[in-house]
Amino acid sequence: GAVVSQHPSRVICKSGTSVKIECRSLDFQATTMFWYRQFPKQSLMLMATSNEGSKATYEQGVEKDKFLINHASLTLSTLTVTSAHPEDSSFYICSARNSRSADTQYFGPGTRLTVL
Amino acid sequence: AQKVTQAQTEISVVEKEDVTLDCVYETRDTTYYLFWYKQPPSGELVFLIRRNSFDEQNEISGRYSWNFQKSTSSFNFTITASQVVDSAVYFCALSEAYPGGGADGLTFGKGTHLIIQP
């Protein structure tokens, strides 16, 4: 089956630093990737849609200057949490839509971010 | 706007019992996709099923079955002869079709925590 990886799987950082999370589709091309956030014992919330070669589309209430998204190639999207604060601590999950089979999204294993 | 409601926050049953997880959705689109995912304690989402709005056939996969009813906007999930390994959080999700075809970003329900006791 299609595989999506995320790196790192877990990161702990100090308040005020920036953290970059990578999402890669390993065996297919993904024109579109999605970023979700999940707080403990809560549901997943769509943060933004990342399109290769163009600007990301952010959901209402998500600060685009806070969560920078770059989708520079058909297999890689990055999410950078800038000037992270403890309230940004969360589980971040990406998904990738196969360009050839667009009705299916494949989820990455997630990145657990803890900001001290 | 779209919305997914999973009214059951937590369900606890004894192993081998059948259990049904409810999912009710709202959307204005005529073309959309419905999904079920399993999230074990590790956090990784496990894909279970995808249904498009034009396919109302119910589906059975081993011990799992799904009942899609457009008339009541429901997409319920039943596990028969439950096992301890079925314990997890289960999410129902909805996606509208994007203009080029295919599923857009997902709107998730709040999830149902299923506990199967031995």
User: pLDDT at position A102, please?
Assistant: 65
The answer, yes or no, to whether residue A70 has pLDDT greater than 80, is: yes
Residue B45 is nearest to which of A102, A107, A112, comparing CB atoms? A107
Minimum CA–CA partner of A42 in chain B: B110
User: pLDDT at position A1, please?
Assistant: 62
Return all residues near A32 (Cβ < 8 A) that are at least 6 apart.
A49, A50, A51, A52, A96, A97, A99
Mean pLDDT of A84-89: 96
A62/B contact by beta carbon, under 8 A: no
Residue B107, judged by CB atoms within 10 A of its CB (0-12, 13-18, 19+), counts as buried
The answer, yes or no, to whether residue B102 has pLDDT greater than 70, is: no
The answer, yes or no, to whether residue A46 has pLDDT greater than 90, is: yes
Q: Cα distance from A28 to chain B (closest Cα, Å)? A: 16
Mean pLDDT of B110-118: 97
The answer, yes or no, to whether residue A101 has pLDDT greater than 80, is: no
Give B-chain residues touching A34 at CB under 8 angstroms: 105-106
Reported as a pLDDT band with limits 50, 70 and 90, residue A54 is confident
